[in-house]
Amino acid sequence: LCQGDLVIFSVPLFESIARAVALFDEVRKLDSEVPVVFFGTYATLNASTLLARGASGVILGDWEDVLVEVAARVAKQQPLDAIGGLATPSSPAQTVFHRSHHLKPDRSDLPALSSYSYPETIKRLGDGVIVGNVESARGCRFACSYCSVFASIRQKVTVFQEEIVLQDIEQLVEKGAKHICFTDAEFLNAPSNALRVAATLHERFPFLTFDFTTRADLIVEDPSRIQRLVELGGKFVTTAFEFPNQTVLNAINKQFTVDTLECAIRVCRAAGIGINPTFLLFNPWVSFEDLNTFSEFLSRNDLEDQVEPVQLATRLWLYKGSPLLADPRVKASITKEHLFNFEWRHADPDVERLFEAIEKETNGSGVVKRCCLKC
Ligand code: SF4
């Protein structure tokens, strides 16, 4: 590791921060001088902790241009201070959103696409489907209060140049991709842009299928948009339902109702696109009775076969920097502080007992997803 001149850690998800820091500590034991820079959602959220631990810099916001500048400074053996968007121990920074020259990603050193696992896609499209991941925009214009995308860059959205996204898709097709997963936290941030990308994808590669993530209210907002995406190759949509209860939806600021969820299911079914709802079952606002009615929601909407067992053991991940920490009920539920997150317990011990029982049954790890695709 430390034969390099510069070490960079990408920290997009909560699973990656503990691993990145463990590796970082090893790097620092081997070499206390080598510049080490972190970037990504969970780096932004934990910038001060990382800097206090010895990081040379943490990128806040878009990272491509900042990384180029960091590499140029390192090559010239210049200090990393006063680079826009890079917080260092001696120079705090403002978040910077700037992607002036987004280039086609270089995938030449990455493992073969066939070596990645996509259980959801295989379940829906069959064994052997080769999937390529592409991002068409970064960020999300919504403000769900549990979401790390919102917490780290608020409602800033950076739309990537369409031609670059399509060039990336083209190189994935050359590597064997038959299906594209748009990994945007919210594919319909800019609906006309998303539809244009999908239309050009279909025009250039009519055999390609794709999936994407979007909110239930955006599905409902314009059913013809979903219909059009199906005509262009859309096969399934992942959407964060979280919990079919208005108290919970309000607590996390989803800005839609339980009716929206049921309507989204109907829109998807009418359009002929698969729906992959994700849930956040164990949270501080749910009651024991609510949990009992959850299976009714699944059966009423014919969703029992659509929901993976892991979805039934999902628990709110309370990370440092979460906007939810301003909620007195959430604060009161905290039982332990860790370096990057808090443990919490539900006020009703029966809810905790139920979680433990389900977790045991599903062989869960205790911490499951939290947001849309991003987490
Ligand atoms: S949960 Fe989804 S819709 Fe809400 S802010 Fe996060 S990415 Fe956006």
Mean residue pLDDT across the chain: 92
Query: Would the pLDDT of 324 be above 80?
Result: yes
Q: How far is the CA of 226 from the centre of ligand 1 (A)?
A: 19
Which range is least confidently modeled, 99-113, 148-162, 232-246? Answer: 99-113
Q: What is the mean pLDDT of residues 18-45?
A: 95
Residue bearing the CA closest to ligand 1, atom 3: 142
325 vs 319: CA distance, rounded Å: 9
Ligand 1 atom closest to Cα of residue 372: 2
Query: Would the pLDDT of 62 be above 60?
Result: yes
Q: How far is the CA of 95 from the centre of ligand 1 (A)?
A: 19
Give residue-wise pLDDT tens across range 248-257: 999 999 999 9
Q: How far is the CA of 24 from the centre of ligand 1 (A)?
A: 30
Asked if 263 contacts 294 with a C-beta cutoff of 8 angstroms, the reply is no
Q: How far is the CA of 142 from the centre of ligand 1 (A)?
A: 6
Ligand 1 atom closest to Cα of residue 141: 8
Give residue-wise pLDDT tens across range 258-293: 999 999 999 999 999 999 999 999 999 999 999 989
Residues 6+ apart with CB under 8 A from 153: 41, 44, 61, 95, 97, 138, 139
- Determine the pLDDT at residue 99: 65
Residue matched to tokens 């999300």: 140
Q: Which of 149, 213, 238 has most ligand 1 atoms within 8 Å of its beta carbon, as the pocket-test mutant?
A: 149
Residue bearing the CA closest to ligand 1, atom 6: 147
168 vs 159: CA distance, rounded Å: 15
317-344 core/surface letters (b: 16 or more CB in 10 A; e: else): bbbbbbbbeebeebeebeeeeeebbbeb
List residues near ligand 1 (CB under 6 A): 140, 142-144, 147, 149-150, 185-186, 215, 240, 371-372
pTM value is 0.92
Residue bearing the CA closest to ligand 1, atom 2: 372
363 vs 359: CA distance, rounded Å: 6
Ligand 1 atom closest to Cα of residue 186: 7
Residue matched to tokens 């995308």: 149
Ligand 1 atom closest to Cα of residue 254: 4
- Determine the pLDDT at residue 75: 96
- Determine the pLDDT at residue 361: 79
Dihedral class, residue 166 (left if φ above 0, else alpha if ψ from -120 to 50, else beta) = alpha
Q: How far is the CA of 7 from the centre of ligand 1 (A)?
A: 30
- Determine the pLDDT at residue 373: 44
Residue bearing the CA closest to ligand 1, atom 4: 144
- Helix (H) or strand (E) holding 334, with range, is strand 334-337
- Determine the pLDDT at residue 351: 95
- Determine the pLDDT at residue 375: 52
Q: What is the mean pLDDT of residues 334-340?
A: 96
Q: How far is the CA of 211 from the centre of ligand 1 (A)?
A: 17
Q: What is the mean pLDDT of residues 135-148?
A: 94
Q: Which of 145, 213, 215 has most ligand 1 atoms within 8 Å of its beta carbon, as the pocket-test mutant?
A: 215
- Reference 41, options 158, 145, 148, 134; nearest CA is 148
